[in-house]
Amino acid sequence: MPALSIPEAEFVTSCPTLASAPRPSLPEIAFAGRSNVGKSSLINSLLNRRQLAMTSRTPGKTRLLNYYRIGKNLCYFVDLPGYGYARVPGETAGRWSHALEEYVGSSEHLLLVVLLLDMRQGLTPMDEQMVDALRIYRRTWLAVVTKSDKLTLGERRKTVSDLENRLAPRGATAIIPFSASTHDGRDAVWEAMRAVLNSRSAGK
């Protein structure tokens, strides 16, 4: 059982653009990363649900901004379109890119971006672009390194250490290894998210 209380959650809507975001407005925690990096799996794990966020072995399934209401009015989780999947038409990829950049650059309610990285692949050029965008738009963000169970303990420690050295100077508030299979790291992600939410509440 998780050490932290997990709130109720429900899927609200899928939006093609920020203009169609749901109302009422709530604080937002967004999940970004390459296609098939495990965004939906992380969301399901955080909420202790199997299929609230639909997962697929086929990359590129998340094509819209998917909103989930967390608790009664705690926040929204926003599952962003994955980036970096080559087997989609250029026009479709362009729409995904526009929706992603518009959201990260313009959302007034975005408190935190959870950037997912595949532990086996490390930081790819497209991840580098995302990190640059988060810095440009001055977003608070942390990195969750997925599929940690696929590496040995020594390999995990080295990968996390390398990422800390590279990403902490660029604004990452935490580097958290995570496994959807074992849920290792889930509590640490919740603690980081709650800290941001609590900080916002205290600052009102």
Q: Is residue 49 part of a domain?
A: yes
Could you give the CA distance from residue 8 to residue 118 in angstroms, rounded to a whole number? 28
Q: What phi-psi label fits residue 185: left (phi over 0), alpha (psi between -120 and 50 degrees) or beta?
A: left
Q: Is residue 184 part of a domain?
A: yes
Q: 150-158: list long-range contacts, CB under 8 Å, 24+ apart.
A: 150/119, 150/120, 151/119, 151/120, 156/119
CATH code for the domain in which residue 166 is found: 3.40.50.300
**In the 3-class helix/strand/coil scheme, how is 58-77 assigned residue by residue?**
CCCCCCCEEEEEECCCCEEE
**Count: domains in the chain:** 1
Which pTM value belongs to this model? 0.87
Q: Is residue 3 part of a domain?
A: no
Listed range (47-51, 66-70, 111-115, 173-177) with the worst mean pLDDT: 47-51
Write the pLDDT tens digit of every residue in 139-171: 999 999 999 999 999 999 999 999 999 999 999
Mean pLDDT on 188-199:
94
| Mean pLDDT, the chain, integer | 85
Q: Is residue 2 part of a domain?
A: no
Mean pLDDT on 50-62:
54
Q: Is residue 1 part of a domain?
A: no
Q: Is residue 192 part of a domain?
A: yes
* pLDDT at 45 > cutoff 50: yes
Mean pLDDT on 35-51:
89
Which residues span the domain enclosing 112?
Answer: 9-203
Q: Is residue 189 part of a domain?
A: yes
Q: Is residue 83 part of a domain?
A: yes
The predicted structure's pLDDT at residue 4 = 61
